[in-house]
Structures are given as C-alpha cells and as structure tokens.
C-alpha cells in the first residue's frame, strides 16, 4: 500500500482521527498507520479511531464493536458514534454521508484531533470520476469532457465546514492491493452489502467498471491541473474584482479580456458566492455573462440568483432582490441566511432575520450606479441588536477541496469573510 508520509508543517505534535468502518480500505489504513508510527521512535503523531454506526442494517452495532476490539488490541483509542433519528426514504446515501462527516468532525473536536483520515482508494476515485463524467457537459473551449474541472476527481485533502481538514492517504492505492496485505497479515474485514446494492449509483458504477475493466486499469482524472487553475482564477479575481459597497461587486473590463478555463472557474465560484448557492451557474449562463462583459454599456442579465449589469467600467454583480428569506433564530443559535450570511442570535429572545431596507437615498460616487447600490443594500440582512453576522463563501461552506484553496481564500478576501484554515500538513 502506498501512503504519503505524514508530517506537520511546523513539526508540532499531531493527533489524527482515523475513520474506520471495518471495511478493507479503512482497516488497511489503520493498520498501515499503526505500523508506520510504531517504527518511528521520535514521532510526534498519535492516533484516535472512530466508527460511525449508521444503524441502517441489523448487526451494525456488533460490527462497530468488532472495530473497537481491534483498536483495543492495537492500543488505539476508539469511539463509536451512532446516527440516530429517522432515516430518509430517498437520498439516503447523501444524508448518511453528511451525518458521517458531521459526527466525525464532532469527535475530532472532542478528542483534540488536528485532522481526519479516511480510507478512500484509487478505486473510489475511479468511481467518482465515472459518475461525474456521466453528468458532465463538454468544456466550452475544448469540447472535451476531459478538461472539465469536476473530472479532476477527489482531492487528496478536503476542508470540512472550515473546521477540520480531511485527508485521503490511500487515494493512489488499489483496493485489491490493500486486501492482499490484510490477508497476508491474517486480518479480516467487513463487507458492507450496500456496496453491491444496485439501488445505489456508486454500486452500479462499481459493477460497470468491473465488467469493462481488465482489473489493471481505471478511469483516469481529467487533464486539468486543478491547483494551478485555482491559483490562476484567484489571481484574476484579486486583480480585477472589488466590492465598492457591501453586496455589490465590480468586475473591471480587463477581466473579460482574459481567456481560458481560469476565467470561467473564477466567475463560476464568484456567481455562486454572490447568489448564495453551493454550485455556480450552468455553462450556457456563464457564457452569457462572458459575452455581457464584451457588450456595450446598459445590457443586463440574470443568472444564479444574481443580476449582472454592463457598465462603462465593466460589469456589476449583485444578489437579486427576490426570494430573500425571513428567518427566525432561537437564542444562542446560529443559522445560515440566504446561503450568504452566518447569523448568530446572542440575545435571550427569538430573533427575526429579514432583508434590509434603505431609509434614505444613498449618496454614491459618479462611477457607481445608485440603483445597484440600493439593490445591494436591500439584499443584505437587516442589522439588529443581538445579531452577529459574517459572510459565507457558499460553494465552499460545506466541503473545500484542497486544490481550490487559493480561489476560496481570494473569495474570502473579496467578501471580507473569515479566511479558510490552512492545511496542517
């Protein structure tokens, strides 16, 4: 099994949370890490293990206990956390995944772990790429699916809710090689029957890949270098995008003279953030925005809950003043308003969060359209006592792939939001 050497950027002690289900991949990861750390007399890394019992089938509690017994034998601290409550009839896999990462993050915080490690393999990567390819649209410039950003596959590391980094040390390792190692050590593992259940997309894709593959080759990630793409997109936004008043964003004319995937990648994430949505606009809408930047002043269009206005100095982008929510927040609780703001009620009574309303005409610079400044103000949450608000970078609020960190940091700076955590190693 190939695994990247784990070391800290500042040589400080690390406690790593290993997510182990009892399957071959996560069991192999735990044993590999245990053996590696045991051979290092001067290591500053310790392990904590966690199992999430989704309670989706009979025997899941016994399986979790089996993992706990293995960890006890190895001398590794272990916790089991159960996903309680009603299980949805549809979208079960996505809900289970969300619950798993939420519970793992809670355990990491409780046990003082710096990062979470999962057992995703090259086989998981191939399945992910195949599923994304089935839904991908051709790249507007090349006409090829292979250069679509999403086909870069899973990142080696992912930041979860700007709270904890998740690493995938086995992403270049094949599942069969891991199982061969486990057999050589006399170590059993659990086979989850849902992995072969055709009701789940991943199981269907896995079976299809097994039929079409010789076993030695897997679908490869797209040709695009996502980290370099993110760096280029971040540079474009840093040089050409500003926020002259809160909620109103100006893209200068020079931005639209740029070419290539970096411009589209940056605009895609920017529109998603302005609109408070986890995903940016479809490629056709994005192309219309690019064309708007090359049209005469006065033209307008809407996309991704945003209004884009062509001005003589460039393009202004603002959240549309429609479908803005009214939200009630209990005392001491935090909620996301309109996908764009994290709001905390610091008072002792229920608080309502609603759109702001300008009390008087705004005085703006001649280069700034007053109507758009008013629209921007109306799309902001109303300031009220006992409410603390901070901006949210919507597309990266849940999961931020490590290769998109430069772009995410540039957006955080542009929106005057809290910056994202740097990787720990």
Q: Which residues are annotated as part of the binding site for ATP?
A: 21-26
Q: Give the residue ranges of the annotated binding site.
A: 21-26
Order the strands of the 157-160 sheet from edge to edge.
77-82, 45-53, 14-19, 115-117, 164-167, 157-160, 399-401
Alpha-carbon gap, residue 355 to 278, rounded angstroms = 21
Number of neighbours of residue 144 by Cβ within 10 angstroms: 13
Query: From residue 383, how far is each of 22, 319, 344, 416 by CA, in Å?
Result: 49, 18, 12, 17
Half-sphere exposure of 251 (CA within 13 A, CB side): 25
Quote the distance between the C-alpha of residue 178 and its chain's center: 27
Quote the radius of gyration of the chain (alpha carbons, Å): 24
Eight-state DSSP code of residue 167: E
Alpha-carbon gap, residue 335 to 347, rounded angstroms = 14
Number of neighbours of residue 243 by Cβ within 10 angstroms: 16
Q: Are strands 248-252 and 157-160 parallel, antiparallel or unpaired?
A: unpaired
Closest residue by Cα to residue 368 from 236, 242, 269: 242
The pairs formed by 143-146 with CB atoms below 8 angstroms and a separation of 24 or more are 145/222, 146/222, 146/223, 146/224
């Amino acid at each position: 099994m190939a695994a990247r050497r784990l070391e800290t950027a500042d040589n400080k002690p690390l406690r790593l949370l290993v997510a182990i289900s009892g399957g071959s991949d996560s069991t192999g990861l735990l044993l590999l890490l245990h053996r590696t750390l045991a051979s290092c007399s001067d290591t500053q890394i310790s392990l904590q293990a966690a199992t999430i019992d989704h309670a989706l089938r009979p025997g899941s509690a016994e399986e979790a206990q089996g993992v706990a017994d293995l960890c006890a034998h190895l001398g590794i601290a272990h916790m089991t956390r159960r996903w309680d409550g009603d299980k949805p009839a549809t979208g079960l896999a996505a809900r289970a995944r969300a619950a798993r990462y939420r519970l793992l993050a809670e355990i990491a915080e409780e046990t003082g772990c710096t990062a979470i490690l999962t057992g995703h393999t090259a086989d998981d990567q191939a399945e992910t790429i195949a599923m994304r390819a089935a839904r991908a649209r051709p790249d507007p410039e090349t006409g090829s699916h292979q250069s679509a950003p999403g086909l870069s596959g899973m990142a080696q590391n992912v930041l979860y809710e700007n709270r904890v980094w998740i690493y995938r040390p086995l992403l270049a390792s094949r599942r069969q090689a891991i199982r061969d190692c486990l057999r050589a050590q006399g170590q059993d593992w659990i086979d989850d029957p849902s992995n072969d259940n055709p009701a789940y997309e991943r199981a269907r894709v896995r079976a299809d890949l097994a039929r079409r593959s010789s076993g030695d080759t897997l679908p490869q990630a797209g040709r695009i270098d996502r980290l370099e793409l993110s760096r280029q997109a971040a540079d474009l936004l840093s040089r050409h995008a500003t926020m002259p008043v809160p909620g109103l964003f100006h893209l200068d004319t020079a931005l639209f003279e740029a070419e290539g995937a970096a411009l589209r990648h940056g605009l895609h994430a920017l529109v998603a953030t302005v609109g408070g949505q986890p995903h940016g606009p479809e490629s056709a809408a994005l192309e219309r925005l690019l064309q708007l930047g090359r049209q005469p002043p006065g033209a307008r269009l809407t996309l991704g809950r945003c209004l884009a206005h062509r001005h003589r100095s460039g393009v202004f982008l603002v959240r549309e003043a429609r479908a803005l929510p009214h939200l009630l927040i209990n005392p001491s609780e935090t909620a996301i308003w309109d996908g764009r703001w994290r709001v905390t009620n610091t008072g002792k009574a229920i608080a309502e969060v609603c759109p702001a309303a300008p009390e008087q005409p705004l005085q703006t610079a001649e280069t700034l359209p007053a109507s758009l400044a008013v629209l921007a103000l109306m799309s902001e949450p109303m300031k009220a006592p006992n409410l603390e608000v901070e901006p949210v970078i919507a597309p990266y609020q849940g999961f931020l792939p490590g290769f998109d960190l430069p772009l995410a940091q540039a957006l955080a700076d542009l929106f005057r939001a809290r910056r994202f955590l740097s990787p720990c190693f």
